[in-house]
Structure 1
């Protein structure tokens, strides 16, 4: 079991530095709302990851086949990201936007952050594909032993979480440099990033079916490791 630790640790580090909408929203939340708010948001993200891991483990190849034949899921997730990004980009500045200290505290506010993190991760079908890929590629290397597989995933996601704590702490240091005007610009930039991520996800949904063959792509990755 311990022989799997280096590979799991490396995989967790790679996952932690993958650039996507969650990455930027996490940094923005830490910088404008503080450490605790960012942790709550991140817990929502990780809850979605755990749900995806469960789905991926139980469904495996059958789900890959369904995803390859249902590109509309990519379009759906991409459109949601685009709409959310447009709302953020076009939104006029409010007191909360210009003074993030007003958004602190309260179970209601933290629940909103948790749900925001969960949904932002959950609508990105690409995250599910990543966890499917991890399980399909790693499974044979751990002899398809459930204990070794979940230990591997546990180390991987724990590494991911610890690295995210570092991101939050570093991003929080930027808070003192964020004037109201800069906060407004950060929100607009984040909106543009979400729009771009949504467009990329939507384009994936319109690719020819042979380009969407996720199962074949993951099998090629696995064959190259064997």
Structure 2
């Protein structure tokens, strides 16, 4: 299996199970209240911020860890962080506020405001940093710091996450009735279990090196 394809598989997993944090609710609310294109701009800001966080994390990981034993330690630490993140995701409460008047205001924000909001939304969320750092640590331990493989892997991952964010925005602008409180609670619980499971898998793979 190619490295890029493995990255796209992770991207689909992240989008399906782990993509229901604050950024998700912002995308849904923007899609419902403002429409599709403002949601795309918001998703673009989130996407660019994800790239920045991954690059910063990769630079730190490949600069600090240069031995196989240290890559193993990094994989175990990354898995542990994912388990913790999964626990809090499972316990997290959801809130999706949709005003009765869903028409766009005459004084709509400038398009760049949506992009900036998406970028800052991730920057200000420490869990996003923790999440991507833990993913980078685990994947770096898998590929041993090979920069080309890491680039291809995360190119696949981030491109799929971005595309699915756009799909979420489109769905919100068309099928808002499905974004119920009970549904989002269920998604959070499934996401928490899946995230913790992925963390356990990373730890086992790092220990036994398979």
Instruction: Identify the residue that residue 84 of structure 2 maps to in structure 1.
Output: none
- Secondary structure at the aligned position of 1:43 is classed as helix
Aligned residues: 170
Instruction: Identify the residue that residue 8 of structure 1 maps to in structure 2.
Output: 7
Runs of 4+ in structure 1 deviating by more than 4 angstroms, as ranges, are: 217-221
What CA RMSD, in Å, does the superposition of the two structures yield over aligned residues?
Answer: 4.1
Give the TM-score normalised by the residue count of structure 2: 0.63
- Secondary structure at the aligned position of 2:104 is classed as helix
Instruction: Identify the residue that residue 25 of structure 2 maps to in structure 1.
Output: 24
2:106 and 2:60 map into 1 onto residues whose CA distance is: 40
Higher helix share: 1
1:104 and 1:117 map into 2 onto residues whose CA distance is: 20
- Secondary structure at the aligned position of 2:105 is classed as helix
- Secondary structure at the aligned position of 2:145 is classed as coil
TM-aligned CA distance change 1:32 to 1:53, over 3 Å = same
1:1-226 equivalence runs, <5 A = 3-17=2-16, 18=18, 19-60=20-61, 98-102=101-105, 109-174=110-175, 222-223=206-207, 226=210
List runs of 5+ in structure 2 lacking aligned partners: 65-73, 75-94, 186-200
Pairwise CA distance, 1:160:
0.8
Is the contact between residue 52 and residue 128 of structure 1 (CA under 8 Å) also seen in structure 2?
Answer: yes
TM-aligned CA distance change 1:5 to 1:51, over 3 Å = closer
1:173 and 1:99 map into 2 onto residues whose CA distance is: 13
Pairwise CA distance, 1:41:
0.6
Is the contact between residue 26 and residue 42 of structure 1 (CA under 8 Å) also seen in structure 2?
Answer: yes
Give the TM-score normalised by the residue count of structure 1: 0.59
TM-aligned CA distance change 1:58 to 1:103, over 3 Å = farther
1:10 and 1:224 map into 2 onto residues whose CA distance is: 23
